[in-house]
Amino acid sequence: MQLQVEEANARVKKEQEAARKAIEEAPPIIKETPVIVQDTEKVNSLTAEVESLKASLQSERKATEEACNACTDAEARNAELVKKLEDSERRVDQLQESVQRLEEKLSNSQSEIQVLRQQSLAISPTGKSLTTRQRTMIVPRTPENGNVTNGETKVLSDMTLAISNVREPESEEKPQKCLNEKQQENQDILIKCISQNLGFSGCKPIAACVIYKCLLHWRSFEVEKTTVFDRIIQTIASSIEVPDNNDVLAYWLSNSSTLLMLLQRTLKASGAASWTPQRRRASSASLFGRMSQGLRSSPQSAGLSFLNGRGLSRLDDLRQVEAKYPALLFKQQLTAFLEKIYGMIRDNLKKEISPLIGLCIQAPRTSRASMVKGRSHANAVVQKALIAHWQSIVKSLNRYLNIMKANHVPPFLARKVFTQIFSFINVQLFNSLLLRRECCSFSNGEYVKAGLAELEQWCNEATEEYAGLAWDELKHIRQAIGFLVIHQKPKKTLNEISKELCPVLSIQQLYRISTMYWDDKYGTHSVSSDVIANMRAMMTEDTNNAVSSSFLLDDDSSIPFTVDDISKSLQQIDIADVDPPALIRENSGFGFLLPRSE
């Protein structure tokens, strides 16, 4: 064994020696040495020139891009300026048209006022002698016009009037005393019909259309003495002596608005068409002349489409009529009744929801405590109980909306009602919030926020046609509640609060809410002391500048529309095809009311 080991070691040494000799005898490693080419400097020069050209090209591209951008910006500014110029020209045209319309309306209003003033002077003791000298003896023309006497109109000469001056008092009373049985019967039938609920033909109130067509056919707008207007007004007045019956009120709101719109587009004061802004200083004597001349004019001179053998169709076919004092007074009285009925419906809804609003400003304590403690198994029941009062308000809103829809009250008036109602809700909730510290808590803010969501959902379901911008009327209470439920109030700056979170609220209102706020749910604090100090400084500055320091809102109960607003809001009405009620259809004296097909 020892011999074998020695032999193995000998072989290893021999192999190592052989390897060493092989390494020594191996050829040396070839090393590369750089070869200097003669054109290296030229290549480097060209490379540098290429890089320079690349830099120049990049610079040119950048300059070109900047020029293109500047050109694009200039074109955009030019396009914007052109658009603004076009808008300005369009606004100028609209303003010119508005000014022209306003001048015409002013002229017509001045004419109406002048007619009413002259008539009031005529019936006064001091004006009686003046009108006596200008009075003309009138005998109307038809037995069915509902105005004065029968026979044709006759005008006596001044000489005849002077001779028969002793008999003048009798002739003055003659128009009212000589109503024959046929005239009285026609008026009685009309009054009897409109005393009932005639309903609607499509979306058109039948009573308003029948009244208008009768007055137009009888030429009642063009006479100075008639009782039909008083009887119509008395009928409306007696019908609305039910302040709690919203169905009746909505019915007459629909009829009065439609009738008033027809009158607005038909009647004009005597001489209004010829009055221009340069001729508004016409003497009152000429007005008296026009008033008396209107009665002496021929019945065929009115030029109404209805009386020219054609049917009275859309509002486009209406022709303006020179209205006398009774017609203008009737229009004023009808306007007053429209405003009264509107106010009654609005106030009835206010009266109905007022107790509920008082319950909506503060969550019930037991229910609120359950929510705060996180009783998840009862949260659904508690949440339903919390919004019960809000849902009652929504039910009231839906009921009034359905009543107005059923009676085809113009959506314009419905929007006005709900806009004022939401403004009322906003005032009541906001003022209560600022006057009661227990309402300025975090959890109460969540309660009111959930209730406001119910009102927002109602606005969406009612659509803008009927709800209008009612949701915007809640901006004060919405922003105040948004402040109550926002987190990390101490980190908010005054600018963030007053400009972004609560832009509608005044500094006095923000200060009131900030100082009354308390967190009954998480125990957090209100805004920082620096923000409070800045609010105080701004309020002091406002006081020095005589700015009102009141933080409460006022409820506006005025009538938020004019007769012209109603006239503009209502669409064209085809009054020719309105079926008259059965009582009128059976009477031959009302054949003009039958549809043209009959």
**3-class SS letters over 296-351:** HCCHHHCCCCHHHCCCCCCHHHCCCEEECHHHHHHHHHHHHHHHHHHHHHHHHHHH
295 pLDDT exceeds 90?
no
Confidence of residue 183 (pLDDT cuts 50, 70, 90): confident
Predicted local confidence at residue 422, as pLDDT = 97
Closest among 463, 501, 465 to 481, alpha carbons compared: 501
143 pLDDT exceeds 50?
no
Number of H helices, E strands in the chain: 22, 4
**Whole-number Å distance between alpha carbons of 54 and 33:** 34
310 pLDDT exceeds 50?
no
Determine what percent of the chain is predicted with pLDDT higher than 90.
41
Specify the amino acid at residue 576. Answer: A
Q: Quickly tell me which residue has 């125990």 as its tokens.
A: 523
Query: What average pLDDT does the structure give for the chain?
Result: 78
**Whole-number Å distance between alpha carbons of 408 and 206:** 11
Predicted local confidence at residue 203, as pLDDT = 87
Predicted local confidence at residue 585, as pLDDT = 84
Give the three-class secondary structure for 149.
coil
Instruction: Identify whether the C-beta of residue 429 lies closer than 8 Å to the C-beta of residue 360.
Output: yes
DSSP 496: I
- 65-99 residue pLDDT tens: 999 999 999 998 898 899 888 888 888 887 877 78
Give the three-class secondary structure for 39.
coil
Predicted local confidence at residue 199, as pLDDT = 93
Range among 165-174, 370-379, 564-573 rated most confident:
564-573
Predicted local confidence at residue 122, as pLDDT = 62
DSSP 409: -
The lowest-confidence range among 114-118, 161-165, 556-560 is 161-165
Name which residue leads in pLDDT, 407 or 382. 407
Q: How distant, in Å, are the alpha carbons of 31, 191, 236, 329, 488 from that of 230?
A: 129, 11, 10, 10, 67
Give the three-class secondary structure for 158.
helix
Closest among 97, 101, 91, 93 to 277, alpha carbons compared: 101
Q: What is the mean pLDDT of residues 421-445?
A: 93
**Whole-number Å distance between alpha carbons of 349 and 358:** 15
Confidence of residue 421 (pLDDT cuts 50, 70, 90): very high
- 456-491 residue pLDDT tens: 999 999 999 999 999 999 999 999 999 999 999 999
For the entire predicted model, the pTM comes to 0.67
Q: Domain segments of the chain: what residues? A: 121-335+574-593, 361-505+507-550
Name which residue leads in pLDDT, 412 or 288. 412
The lowest-confidence range among 20-29, 195-204, 241-250, 331-340 is 20-29
**Whole-number Å distance between alpha carbons of 93 and 114:** 31
Closest among 538, 555, 346 to 430, alpha carbons compared: 555
Determine what percent of the chain is predicted with pLDDT higher than 70.
72
50 pLDDT exceeds 60?
yes
168 pLDDT exceeds 80?
no
Q: What is the mean pLDDT of residues 522-535?
A: 91
